[in-house]
């Protein structure tokens, strides 16, 4: 009996793939830093029994029409807004993601971005490199402290709770907004559940970790930024489409809010001429929330565990639903 065929839409380290070659024939896209082209993806979709996709791969009805043998799609991300789940499920295909394994790495990055933005670290680095540091002065590149400040977390899932634990260690007061109350987090961290509007009005740091859904698309709009304190700092490590970027730019330029730290954008890779990139009070990262070596390796292994489990007739390890 021939082995099933699995395709991975990026090149990943062979040492991670090798153990799974006993179970399946595995093909990979030739680049690790460029997305698979449409023609190749369609060809592979027609031949594959299982596929490992990246968050930048759009899996919709059009591409799935080519998938005659496909049994499982493993998405290398927690979010899955790139997958048309309704079409996937209607075709009897299993969809999986990678929860849990990236929680701590993403929380680390979120808090690092919060610190870098609040304490103006990127501005300070450039100030030194550009030869502008001529003397010390009391308010040179003065930023915002964390201690005794309110952090408002929008989206209190696993990553949100991990960020809250870090914030607690910095002496911050934790506010959160979520679809459901998190009683354990409230007990452990003294976190306070708030309406979205109340969180915006009270928070010194507003951290967006909510998944992208029809309800959250454009959640942070002109009205949201107008509700924030003028000293507020906005952090987004979820999805770019949760934010109205034009409204964010206007809020920053007008002084409606103080600064922003962004790991995600509406269009990725972001255009280097994007208006937000022109602002010194914005720290921009290339969607690296989970990008530690340990976590990315764990994510790839989990994807392959999901694929091979389904192809062997077993339940997936982490089904999306």
* DSSP-assigned letter for residue 243: B
**What's the CA angle centered on 93, arms 91 and 95, to 5 degrees?**
135
Percent of the chain with pLDDT over 70: 100
pLDDT in tens, 54-103: 999 999 999 999 999 999 999 999 999 999 999 999 999 999 999 999 99
Q: What are the distances in angstroms from CA 177 to CA 188, 200, 203, 218? A: 16, 10, 12, 16
Q: Are 191 and 203 in contact (CB under 8 A)?
A: no
Q: Average pLDDT in the 165-174 region?
A: 98
The mean predicted confidence, pLDDT, of the chain is 97
Domains of the chain as residue ranges with CATH: 5-101+293-311 (3.40.50.720), 103-284 (3.40.50.720)
**Residue numbers annotated as active site:** 239, 268, 287
Count how many Cα atoms sit within 13 Å of the Cα of residue 231 in the half-sphere of its side chain: 12
For range 37-54, the mean pLDDT = 96
Instruction: Assess whether pLDDT exceeds 90 at residue 270.
Output: yes
Overall average pLDDT of the 144-165 stretch: 97
**Which tokens belong to 232?**
């507020």
Q: How confident is the model at residue 178 (pLDDT cuts 50, 70, 90)?
A: very high
Q: How many CB atoms lie within 10 A of CB 87?
A: 16
* CA dist., res. 34 & res. 8, Å (int): 13
What's the pLDDT at 79?
92
Pairing of the two strands 173-177 and 192-193: parallel
- Over residues 239-265, the mean pLDDT reads 98
pLDDT score of 1: 61
Q: How far is CA 155 from the centre of its chain?
A: 12
- My answer on whether omega of the bond before 248 falls inside 30° of 0, hence cis, is no
> Other C-beta atoms within 10 Å of 234: how many?
27
Q: Of 259, 305, 315, which is closest to residue 121 (Cα–Cα)?
A: 259
Helical (H) or strand (E) element with 240: none
For residue 220, how far is the Cα from the chain centroid? Answer: 16
């Amino acid at each position: 009996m021939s082995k099933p065929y699995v395709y991975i839409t990026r090149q990943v380290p062979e040492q991670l793939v090798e153990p799974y070659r006993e179970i399946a024939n595995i093909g990979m896209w030739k680049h690790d830093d460029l997305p698979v082209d449409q023609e190749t993806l369609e060809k592979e979709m027609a031949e594959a029994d299982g596929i490992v996709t990246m968050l930048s791969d759009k899996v919709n009805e059009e591409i799935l029409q080519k998938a005659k043998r496909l049994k499982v799609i493993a998405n290398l991300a927690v979010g899955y807004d790139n997958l048309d789940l309704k079409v996937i499920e209607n075709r009897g295909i299993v969809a999986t993601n990678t929860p849990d394994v990236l929680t701590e790495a993403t929380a680390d990055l979120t808090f690092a971005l919060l610190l870098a933005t609040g304490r103006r670290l990127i501005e300070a680095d450039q100030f030194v490199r550009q030869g502008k540091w001529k003397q010390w002065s009391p308010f040179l590149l003065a930023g915002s402290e964390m201690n005794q400040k309110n952090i408002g977390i929008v989206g209190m899932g696993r990553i949100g709770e991990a960020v809250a634990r870090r914030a607690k260690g910095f002496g911050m007061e934790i506010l959160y907004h979520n679809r459901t109350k998190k009683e354990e987090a409230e007990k452990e961290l003294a976190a306070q559940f708030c309406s979205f509007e109340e969180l915006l009005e009270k928070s010194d740091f507003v951290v967006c970790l909510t998944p992208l859904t029809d309800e959250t698309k454009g959640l942070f709009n002109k009205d949201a930024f107008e509700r924030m304190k003028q000293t507020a700092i906005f952090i987004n490590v979820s999805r770019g489409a949760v934010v109205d970027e034009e409204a964010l730019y206007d809020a920053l330029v007008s002084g409606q809010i103080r600064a922003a730290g962004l790991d995600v954008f509406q269009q990725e890779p972001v255009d280097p001429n994007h208006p937000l990139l022109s602002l010194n009070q914005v720290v921009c990262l290339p969607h690296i929330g989970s990008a530690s070596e340990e976590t990315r390796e764990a994510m790839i292994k989990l994807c392959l565990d999901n694929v091979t489990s389904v192809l062997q007739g077993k339940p997936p390890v982490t089904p999306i639903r």
